[in-house]
Amino acid sequence: MIPSSVLDQLKTYFPQNRYSTGESNRNLHSCDESFHTPSPPDVVLWPVSSEEVQKVLALANDHKIPVTAWGAGTSLEGNPIPVRGGIVLNFNQMNHILNLRLADLQVDLEPGVIYQDLNEHCRPHGLFFPPDPGARATIGGMIGNNASGTRTVRYGATRDYVQALEVVLVDGSLVRLGTQAVKSSSGYDLCRLFVGSEGTLGIVTQATLRLVGFPEHFMSAVATFSTTRQATETVHQIMIGGLSPAALELLTPEVISLLNKERDLGLVEAPTLFMEFHGVGEQALSLALDMVQGICRENGGTGFLSGMGLSERNRLWEARHQTFETIKRAHPGFSFLIVDIAVPISRYSEMVEFARELLIAKGQLGYVFGHAGDGNLHMVLVCKRTETKSWQKAQEFNQAVVSQALRLKGTATGEHGIGIGKRIFMEAEHGPSLNLMRRIKDLFDPNHILNPGKMFP
């Protein structure tokens, strides 16, 4: 519990409408979209400036009180759950786009900006911020988690677009990292050290992001196959063929079946690839799609649909973004354990085959899909959180899949972060270098008050 004297001090920093110890607000900030056990904070604060964040961190550090940053609560590994109570800083009122610098293709903004809102703001100028995790995530959360998504295969992850950061350190001091220059060889890259750190080293209060030109033309395609192996082998050949898809997604028949039932997509219930290509000319895109169709045919493709209109394209991609929600709605009363791993693209077929065979062997109900173009595999395991055997079975399945990904020189988390659930794999993935991470954590946060209980075993 936070001492009453500290709560009284916080009340002098924040007006009543941006300070709450009420049960409802505390419960709203006790869990994200993951399966992890809720844990409420002692107090929720809504800062509107870097100066307020500085005051909070300085006070919290003096009294060794945990502080957790909160964006939109859409994360999937318990990343913002305040597992040791303390203070939650909700950044939804620091949601301003400060400066859109068209000449530099850059934008300065606060961490509470929703990335879809950013793209709506940039669209009239022909620019956009490419990382696309699907949910209505905040920029601050995306930076903390190094979020990516469907377009990563061509455009990269959040880390690739962070030019500069304003960060409040644990003692309340403010530092500005990075530059507005496109490149720099000046010293350690401290700016990107904070990207993916999940709020464990400092709290971002402002960011400068790189933008890119909105594609002048795009073409989408849907390809179906008799077997999942044929689909994944096609993914590998498209990627090594240098065809540069903007998105390349794998959906297994079970996923397609659910999407058809809920959204009436009318798709063949077979192993399926959703693809999209961006370019400056329709002729070049048509040629690329012809080559892709040839690759699909050579790998036993049973269907290939392209040339769809904008509305149909949007309908398909919206359905893909809503896959997890669709699975949840199809299984009311159940719990869900989400698997998120990534492997080298050359091992993707092997990884997917392992996961699907394991589902059958273990009798585990689950769904397989993923960002195939960058080797990212997702699984949603359906189980009963309240039934020990069901939950333990799902956890053992998750461990088996992650262990296989590590054996294939992959990672325990492709894009959801470490949070709570992936801490147990950190030593296996990083080995002795994990101790370097611990030393960095000790340097930046000696009292371990910043989002404690995350990242490290």
How large is the C-alpha radius of gyration of the chain?
Answer: 22
Match domain 217-324 to its CATH number in 3.50.50.60, 3.30.70.2190, 3.30.70.2740, 3.20.20.100: 3.30.70.2190
For residue 161, give the DSSP letter: G
Neighbour tally for 6: CB within 10 Å: 18
Asked whether the beta carbons of 369 and 378 are under 8 A apart, the reply is: yes
pLDDT of residue 280: 81
User: Parallel, antiparallel, or unpaired for β 376-383 and 366-370?
Assistant: antiparallel
In CATH terms, are 97-213 and 217-324 the same topology? no
* Cα separation, 111 vs 53, whole angstroms: 12
pLDDT of residue 312: 86
CATH of domain 97-213: 3.30.465.10
pLDDT of residue 282: 85
Neighbour tally for 328: CB within 10 Å: 16
Asked whether the beta carbons of 234 and 299 are under 8 A apart, the reply is: yes
Compute the half-sphere exposure of residue 108: CA atoms within 13 Å on the CB side of its CA. 12
* Cα separation, 138 vs 85, whole angstroms: 22
Could you say which architecture CATH assigns to the domain 4-92? 2-Layer Sandwich (3.30)
* Cα separation, 294 vs 372, whole angstroms: 19
Neighbour tally for 435: CB within 10 Å: 11
pLDDT of residue 129: 98
CATH class (in words) of the domain with range 331-426: alpha beta
Asked whether the beta carbons of 130 and 161 are under 8 A apart, the reply is: yes
- Domain layout of the chain by residue ranges: 4-92, 97-213, 217-324, 331-426
pTM of the model: 0.94
Asked whether the beta carbons of 145 and 417 are under 8 A apart, the reply is: yes
pLDDT means over runs of 10, the chain (457 residues) = 95 97 98 94 98 98 98 95 98 98 98 98 96 93 96 96 98 97 94 97 98 91 97 96 93 96 93 93 89 96 88 89 94 94 97 97 96 96 93 95 98 96 96 97 98 95
pLDDT of residue 309: 78
* Cα separation, 292 vs 381, whole angstroms: 32
pLDDT of residue 211: 98
pLDDT of residue 74: 94
Neighbour tally for 399: CB within 10 Å: 14
Residue that is written with structure tokens 């698997």 in the block: 339
Distances (CA, A) of 436 to 411, 426, 430, 433: 18, 12, 10, 5
- Find the length of the chain: 457
pLDDT of residue 160: 97
